[in-house]
Amino acid sequence: MRKTDADTIMMVAGEASGELYGAKLAEALLQARPSLSIFGMGGKRMGEAGVEILYDVKESAVLGLLEVTDRLLVIRSFFKGLLRAAAEKQPRAAILIDYPDFNLRLAARLHRRKIPVIYYVSPQLWAWRKGRVKKIEKYVSKMLVILPFEEPYYRRAGVRAEFIGHPLVDMVQSGQNKDAFLQSRGLKRDIPLIGLLPGSRRKEVQMILPAMVRALSLLKTKLNYQAVIARAETVPEEEISRILQKEGSVYPIIGDSTYTIMKHADVLIVASGSATLEAALFGTPMVVVYKTFYPTYWIGMLMISVEHYCLANLVMGERVVPELIQKDMTPENIAGQLERILCHPEVQADIRLRLSKIRDLLGQEKVSERAAKAVLSLIDKQNT
């Protein structure tokens, strides 16, 4: 038997990182108020946290503005299905997590149905497509932002925003110690370890991983190293294996120890995104890379107005780790940056020292609990 509507919340995440944050928020909400019923779009982790998953996040993740076409029918069916579910269940509020092209349209439709919208994890309006802030001001009841410079940005635009801290502050921790990890994977302690993080979307990996692997091949002539690939659960292992086979390379593919890799690697090659913040919280030196389809890139360049692509550099307000974006993301450039870091201990030490400051910038612990408190406060005000 379904709980009453007063106890019902919709939650929608469309990508791997948002799904992780949604799972932690759902856990905090249900711990604070066990009577809640949460439904929506997400993945395995949100489901395990207690959310009724109507649509799976694995089917909704796409790479860019122009790559959405091959998933358009699926995404449209999810959109319509969520609206039907909202009409049936009449939730007290909807928590929309990042995924702006989908969620901002959903916010407008939910607003028309007088369902309060709480937006968790801001779209990067401060970087590009700034005009969307008008939609947020109109359709979103509360913004829960996770980067320190976002609250004043939104408040200047008339949006009710609250900086609650970054959920990664609570999540970033490694299970195994270094010796146990290396031994379990057949790796050696006295050889530098390079960790590859090629992204959480299949097309992203297809665009980025080949250049990473070719960079390692170039590095072989200069350095003795070992390397592992951290696989996101949204990317099939077969896809990574296919790319490695095509490149004539063999490296361990590890799908369950990303944070351990981040902590214990001597250097990382990381696809630009939230993974750069995770790595930064460990203080691990990294080379940040990214490449997308050129039409998507050029459209984005017309709209982007930030000095840094890498989130870690943005939060720090300076270029702490190197960024190789689009045409600069060549095997030669990646290999050169890896060599610079691995062959110069003073460079490694400087990066680690500067990254050590990022945790304080990202806020205090218990972020999900603060987010849950803000959500429940808004719901309770609706009931009074």
Q: Going residue by residue through the chain, which has 384 residues, state the pLDDT in tens, using 9 for 90 and above.
A: 344 455 899 999 998 788 989 999 999 999 999 999 999 999 999 999 999 999 998 765 554 444 555 578 888 999 999 999 999 999 999 999 999 989 999 999 999 999 999 999 998 765 555 677 888 999 999 999 999 989 998 999 899 999 999 999 998 887 779 999 999 999 999 999 999 999 988 889 999 999 999 999 999 988 999 999 999 988 999 999 999 999 999 999 999 899 999 999 999 999 998 899 999 999 999 999 999 754 554 445 544 555 677 889 999 989 999 999 989 999 999 999 999 999 999 999 999 999 999 999 999 999 999 999 999 999 988 766
Backbone angles phi, psi at 231, to 5 degrees: -95, 125
Q: Which helix (H) or strand (E) holds 33?
A: none
SS3 label, residue 56: strand
Determine whether 276 is exposed, middle or buried from the number of CB atoms within 10 Å of its CB (0-12, 13-18, 19+): buried
Residue 237's pLDDT is 96
How many Cβ atoms from other residues are within 10 Å of residue 264's Cβ?
23
Please state, in angstroms and rounded to a whole number, the distance separating the CA atoms of residues 181 and 200: 23
Q: Cα angle vertex 322, ends 320, 328, to 5°?
A: 155
Query: What one-character DSSP code corresponds to residue 346?
Result: H
Ramachandran category for residue 73: left, alpha or beta (phi over 0 → left; psi -120 to 50 → alpha):
alpha
Domain boundaries, the chain: 5-165+363-383, 178-361
Phi and psi at residue 93, in whole multiples of 5°?
A: -160, 160
Beta bridge partners of 11: 40, 95
Collapsing DSSP to helix, strand or coil, 323 comes out as strand
Q: Which amino acid is at 278?
A: E
pLDDT, residue 347, reads 96
Q: How far apart are CA 7 and CA 29, in angstroms?
A: 11
The CATH fold of domain 5-165+363-383:
Rossmann fold (3.40.50)
Same-fold call for 5-165+363-383 versus 178-361: yes
pTM value is: 0.81
Res 2: pLDDT: 41
CATH number of 178-361: 3.40.50.2000
Residue type, 117: V
